[in-house]
Amino acid sequence: MTISKSTQYLTIASLWFGHFSVDFMLGIWPVYKTLAGLDLALCGLIIGICAFIGEGLQAYFGTLSDRGYRTHLILGGVLLSTASAFLAYSDSYVVLFFLLLLTLIGSGAFHPCAASLVNSLMPKRQGLLMSVFQSGGGAGLAVSQLIFFYAFYSLDGHTFVLAIPIVLFVGLLIINKWVLSAYDIPTPKKKASLMDYADLFKHRELRLLYISQVCNQSLMWGTLFLLPDILLSRGYDTWICFGGGHFAYVAGMTLLLTPIGYLADKYSFKTVVICALGTCIFSLYAFLLLPMLSTGMLLSLLFIFGASLGSITPLNVVYGNRLVPNRSGVVSAFLMGLVWCVSEGLGQFGGGMLTKFFVDDAPAHALGCLGILFLVGLTAYLRLPKELPARTESTC
C-alpha cells in the first residue's frame, strides 16, 4: 500500500511530539529525587526495578507492533508516561515506585512501536528519519528538569498541569487516528513469539550491537541520574544543578542527531560511531577530573558529551533493522527495550550504589567507575563489519 507524502509528514510530526512527551516524563525522576532529598541508592533501586519491568516489556510490545497493534501501543504509551507528573504529590517510596512503573511501561509501549514505524516511512532515509525522531525525545528530555523545577516552585507543587497538553495531544490523535493507523499492517507470516529474541541473540552482529548498546546506554542513564547531585556537590548555581547542566547535556544529544545521521547515511556507520565513542570518553573524564570548571566550560563539555553519546543509539537501531529488515518491531525492541531494561538499572542503580563507597564528591567518583563500560562497548563495536547490508525498498 502506498502512503501519501502528507500522511508521512503528519506521522513523523506526531511521532516527534509523542517522543518529546514520553522522554519529558522520563527526565523528571532524576531531578525530583534530588529536590526531595531522597536516598540515592534506594532511588536507584526503584528506577532499576521499574525499568527492568517496564522497558523489558518492549520485547512483548515489539511483537504486538508487528501484529498490527502499533497505533494502540503508541497512544497508550504516551498516555501512561504522564504518571511522572504526579510524583510531587507523595513522599512514599511505594507510591513513587508505582508511578514510575506506569511511566516506564508507557515508555516500553511507545518506543519500539514508534521506532519501527519511523523505519518503515522512507527506507532510503532511515538514518536521517531515525535521528529526527530521536531529536524529539532529546528535546523533551532536555527541557524536562528545568520546566519541572520551575513548575514545582511556581505552582506550589501542583505539577499535574504538565500532563494536560499531553493528554490533549493523545485525544487529538485518537480523533485523527488515520495518521498512524494507515501503517497498522501485520508483517510476519507467523505468530510472533518471545522466543524470537533468543534467535536474535544467536545473530553475531546483533549480539555485538546489543553489548555496545547496553554499555553506552548505562553511561547515559547513569549520567542523567547522578548529574544533579554531582553539580550540587561541586557548588554550582541552583539553575545549573536543577536543569541547566542537564539541558546542556541532553541538548547535545538533540541538536547534532540529524547531521550525524546524515553523515552515517553518506559514509560509514561504524566510523561515525567509533569517533563518537572516542569523543565520549574524552569529554566525560575531562568533566569528572576538572571539578572547578567555569560555567561556560562546564556546559560546553556536557554538550559535547551528550552529542557524542546520544548519536550512537539511533545509528545502532538502524544498523539492526538493516540486518533483519522484515522484523522491524522485534529488532527495534531488541536494541531498545531489552537494552534499556538492563542499562537503566545498571546505570542508575549501579551509580547510586557506588556512591556508598566514597565520601568526597561521591556521585562523580561513582560515574567515573561506570565509565569503564565505554571500553567494553568500544571493544564490541570494533568487531562489527565496516559495511552495512544494502538498503531495501518498501512501500509499507
Q: Which range is most confident: 132-136, 138-142, 281-285, 343-347?
A: 281-285
Q: Determine the pLDDT at residue 189.
A: 45
pLDDT band at 181 (very low <50, low <70, confident <90, very high): low
Does 231 have pLDDT greater than 80? yes
239-278 pLDDT, tens digit each: 999 999 999 998 887 777 667 777 776 777 777 888 888 8
The dihedrals phi and psi of 67, each to the nearest 5 degrees, come to -100, 10
Does 194 have pLDDT greater than 60? no
Single-letter residue type at 379: T
Single-letter residue type at 264: A
Give the closest residue to 47 by CA, choosing from 62, 63, 30, 59.
30
Q: Average the pLDDT over 293-309 and give the result.
A: 91
Give the closest residue to 300 by CA, choosing from 233, 342, 252, 338.
252
Least confident of 258-262, 269-273, 291-295, 356-360: 258-262
- Choice between 145 and 328, residue whose per-residue pLDDT is larger: 145
Judged on CB neighbours under 10 Å (0-12, 13-18, 19+), 276 is buried
Q: How far apart are CA 325 and CA 112, in angstroms?
A: 14
Residue 389 included in any domain: no
Q: Average the pLDDT over 304-325 and give the result.
A: 81
Does 4 have pLDDT greater than 70? no
- Choice between 193 and 298, residue whose per-residue pLDDT is larger: 298
Q: Is 394 left (phi over 0), alpha (psi -120 to 50) or beta?
A: beta
Q: Determine the pLDDT at residue 329.
A: 64
Judged on CB neighbours under 10 Å (0-12, 13-18, 19+), 197 is buried
- Choice between 196 and 1, residue whose per-residue pLDDT is larger: 196
Q: Average per-residue pLDDT in the chain?
A: 83
Q: How far apart are CA 239 and CA 237, in angstroms?
A: 6
Q: Which range is most confident: 56-65, 142-151, 317-326, 354-363?
A: 142-151
Residue 250 included in any domain: yes
Q: How far apart are CA 256 and CA 311, in angstroms?
A: 8
Question: Is this prediction's pTM over 0.95?
Answer: no
Range of the domain at 52: 5-182+193-382
Least confident of 120-134, 201-215, 336-350: 120-134
Based on the structure, what is the number of domains in the chain? 1
Sign of CA pseudo-dihedral 346, 349, 354, 355:
positive
Residue 16 included in any domain: yes
106-129 pLDDT, tens digit each: 998 898 788 778 877 766 666 677
Q: Average the pLDDT over 31-40 and give the result.
A: 89
Start-to-end CA span in the chain (Å): 6
Q: In residues, how long is the chain?
A: 396
Local structure of residue 68 (DSSP, 8 states): I
Residue 255 included in any domain: yes
Q: Is 311 left (phi over 0), alpha (psi -120 to 50) or beta?
A: alpha
pLDDT band at 396 (very low <50, low <70, confident <90, very high): very low
Q: Determine the pLDDT at residue 177.
A: 60
Q: Which residues contact 181 (CB under 8 A, 6 or more apart)?
A: 71
Residue 188 included in any domain: no
Q: Determine the pLDDT at residue 393.
A: 41
Q: How far apart are CA 175 and CA 165, in angstroms?
A: 15
Residue 19 included in any domain: yes
Q: How far apart are CA 156 and CA 237, in angstroms?
A: 22
What is the maximal distance between C-alpha atoms in the chain? 61
Place of cell 528506577: 47
Single-letter residue type at 259: P
Residue 393 included in any domain: no
131-149 pLDDT, tens digit each: 788 778 888 988 999 999 9
The C-alpha cell at 206 is 546483533
Q: Which range is most confident: 198-202, 296-300, 372-376?
A: 296-300
Q: Determine the pLDDT at residue 283.
A: 92
16-25 pLDDT, tens digit each: 999 999 999 9
Q: Could you tell me the CATH number of the domain that includes residue 168?
A: 1.20.1250.20
The C-alpha cell at 168 is 490533549
Instruction: Give yes or no for a contact between 246 and 227, defined as CB atoms under 8 angstroms apart.
Output: yes
Does 1 have pLDDT greater than 60? no
Q: Which residues contact 212 (CB under 8 A, 6 or more apart)?
A: 312, 316, 377, 378, 380, 381
Q: Average the pLDDT over 66-92 and give the result.
A: 88
Q: Determine the pLDDT at residue 10.
A: 81
Q: Following DSSP, what letter does each residue of 77-107 receive, concatenated?
A: HHHHHGGGGGGGG---HHHHHHHHHHHHHHH
Residue 390 included in any domain: no
Q: Average the pLDDT over 14-37 and give the result.
A: 92
Q: Angle at CA 206, nearest 5°, toward 204 and 212?
A: 105
The C-alpha cell at 38 is 531522597
Q: Determine the pLDDT at residue 246.
A: 92
Provide, rounded to the nearest whole percent, the portion of the chain with pLDDT above 70. Answer: 86
